[in-house]
A = this chain, B = another copy of it.
C-alpha cells in the first residue's frame, strides 16, 4: 500500500504507453532538420500544447525542465534576475518547498533580501498578510498552491490580486495533477512525477511580458530558459498522463476526499494524544498529516513499512539533517511522531481501513515501553466528528445556491462543515453575506474539484449554531 504519492507517483499506465511510443517516434534531436528530428519536434510541440492547455497557459509560455526543483530554482532566480530593476527583495511563505528556501538562501548570499511570510496554525497565509510583506523593491513573490506536507490550500487568487503588479510565482507541484491552478500567476512551476508522469520532467511557465533572465549559461533550447538536450519521450509521457489524470480527477478527488476525511476523523478517536494538522477544509483532497506525541517518527515509519504501508514523515529523526520539517515548525504544531498519508489515484477503501486498524496497534506498541499513563483518545469523549456535507448547486443560478445552503445546513451538527458547489459568480458574494447575516462561519473558497465537482468553486461554511 503506497500512501506516499506526494513524494512521487508510480508511472500512470497512459504515461507508460506514451513513453514507449515516444521512445520509438520521438528519440531524435528536435532541433535537427531531418525527418526523425522533425517528428520529435512535432511530438514536443503537441506535448507543450497539452500541458499549456491543462495549466491555463499559452504553449509559448511553457518550458520543460528536468525537475520541479529545477523549475523552482530557475523560476525564482530567473525572475529575480529579470526584475532586478524593481529591486532585490523576495517574498515567500514560510511553508514553501525546501527548493524555494534554498533558492532564497542563494539569493540572500548574493546580496538579495528575503522575507518569509508567516502562516497560521493550519499552515495558511492570508492574502493581506502576504501583501503586507511586499514593499518598494520587491522583485518577486512566491506562493505554493497547496502545501506538500499538510495539504493546506493557499489563497492564491486573492494573493495574486493583492500582489498588485509584483510578479507572483505559483508552485503547483502538489496540485497540478488534481486541481485547476488559479489564474493570476506570473510564473508557474510543476513536476510531472507527482502526477504519474516520468521522473525528469518539470514545468516552468512564464507569462508573456513577465521579465525573465536565465541564471544559467546561454542555451537556445526551451525559449532560452533550460539548457540541455530536450527529453522528448519523457515530456510526451508527462503530457499524456497529465491529461489522463485530470480526466479522472473530479471522480477521484471526491472519493479520496472522503477517505481522507475518514482518516482525519478516526485517527484522533483511535490513537490517544494525536494531533491532525493542516487546514481541515481548504485542503488537497488526498493528503492528511498527523503527529503522535511520545513517538519516534522513524520507528513509526519502519513499523508501518513492515505492516505494508509506505508513508512519509516530517519528524526530525527521518530527515538527513536531523531537523524537523520547516513547515510543521512554521505552523507551530507538534513535529514528533509525524506521519503524512497521501493517497494515490485508485487507493482502495479497504486499504485505508486496514491502515486505521494497524496504526493504533503500532503506536501503542511503540509507546508501551515508555510506561506512560495516557488519556483515552481525545475524540472518543468529544462529539462525533462529521464529514463535510457537500451541497451540489452547480448549474443553479442565484439565489438557489444560498437557498440550498440554508435548507441543508441543519443536516450537520454544530461545528460541522458544508461545502456548497456553485458556478454562479453571485455565490462568491452571497454565501459569505448570508453567513454574516445568520451568524455562521464562512471559511472560504476552494476548487470544487476537491469536493467532486467538475467546475466552479466550493464555498465552505462551518455551522456555528
Chain A residues proximal to chain B, CB less than 8 Å: 2, 4, 7-8, 10-11, 16, 19-20, 23, 27-29, 31-37, 66-70, 73, 77, 99, 102-103, 105-106, 191, 193, 198-200, 202, 216-220, 227-234, 298, 301-302, 304-305, 309-312, 318, 320-321
Interface pair B33/A10, CB less than 8 Å apart: no
How far in angstroms is the closest Cβ of chain B from A301? 6
Total copies of the chain:
2
How far in angstroms is the closest Cβ of chain B from A36? 6
Q: Which residues of B contact A28 (CB under 8 A)?
A: 2, 4, 7-8, 10, 310
How far in angstroms is the closest Cβ of chain B from A13? 11
Interface pair A191/B229, CB less than 8 Å apart: yes
Of all chain B residues, which has the CB nearest A35? B305
Q: Which residues of B contact A67 (CB under 8 A)?
A: 66, 227-229
Interface pair B69/A36, CB less than 8 Å apart: no
The listed residue (B7, B16, B70) touching A32 by CB distance below 8 A is B7
Interface pair B2/A36, CB less than 8 Å apart: yes
Interface pair B229/A73, CB less than 8 Å apart: no
Q: Which residues of B contact A200 (CB under 8 A)?
A: 66, 200, 231, 234
Interface pair B106/A216, CB less than 8 Å apart: yes
Interface pair A99/B227, CB less than 8 Å apart: yes
Q: Which residues of B contact A68 (CB under 8 A)?
A: 228-229
Of all chain B residues, which has the CB nearest A298? B33
Q: Which residues of B contact A35 (CB under 8 A)?
A: 305, 310
Interface pair A11/B34, CB less than 8 Å apart: no
Q: Which residues of B contact A231 (CB under 8 A)?
A: 66, 198-200
Q: Which residues of B contact A77 (CB under 8 A)?
A: 217
Give CA–CA (A234, B202) in the complex, Å: 15
Q: Which residues of B contact A103 (CB under 8 A)?
A: 217
The listed residue (B199, B216, B229, B310) touching A232 by CB distance below 8 A is B199
Interface pair B105/A217, CB less than 8 Å apart: yes
Of all chain B residues, which has the CB nearest A104? B217
Give CA–CA (A68, B311) in the complex, Å: 34
Known: A32-B4, A34-B310, A233-B199. A66 touches B99 (CB 8 A): no
- Residue among A202, A234, A301 with max Cβ neighbours from chain B (10 Å): A234
Interface pair A27/B10, CB less than 8 Å apart: yes
Known: A66-B70, A200-B234. A227 touches B102 (CB 8 A): yes
Of all chain B residues, which has the CB nearest A2? B36
Interface pair A73/B227, CB less than 8 Å apart: yes
The listed residue (B10, B193, B227) touching A229 by CB distance below 8 A is B193
Of all chain B residues, which has the CB nearest A73? B217
Give CA–CA (A103, B216) in the complex, Å: 8
How far in angstroms is the closest Cβ of chain B from A246? 21
The listed residue (B11, B228, B312) touching A69 by CB distance below 8 A is B228
Between A and B, 19 residue pairs with Cβ closer than 8 Å are A8-B29, A8-B229, A11-B23, A11-B27, A16-B23, A23-B198, A31-B320, A33-B298, A33-B301, A35-B305, A37-B310, A66-B66, A69-B228, A73-B227, A99-B227, A106-B216, A106-B217, A193-B229, A200-B234
Of all chain B residues, which has the CB nearest A318? B33
Give CA–CA (A312, B219) in the complex, Å: 19
Q: Which residues of B contact A73 (CB under 8 A)?
A: 216-217, 227
Give CA–CA (A193, B28) in the complex, Å: 10
Q: Which 4 pairs from chain A and chain B are nearest by CB?
A: A67-B228, A66-B66, A102-B217, A69-B228
Interface pair A310/B36, CB less than 8 Å apart: yes
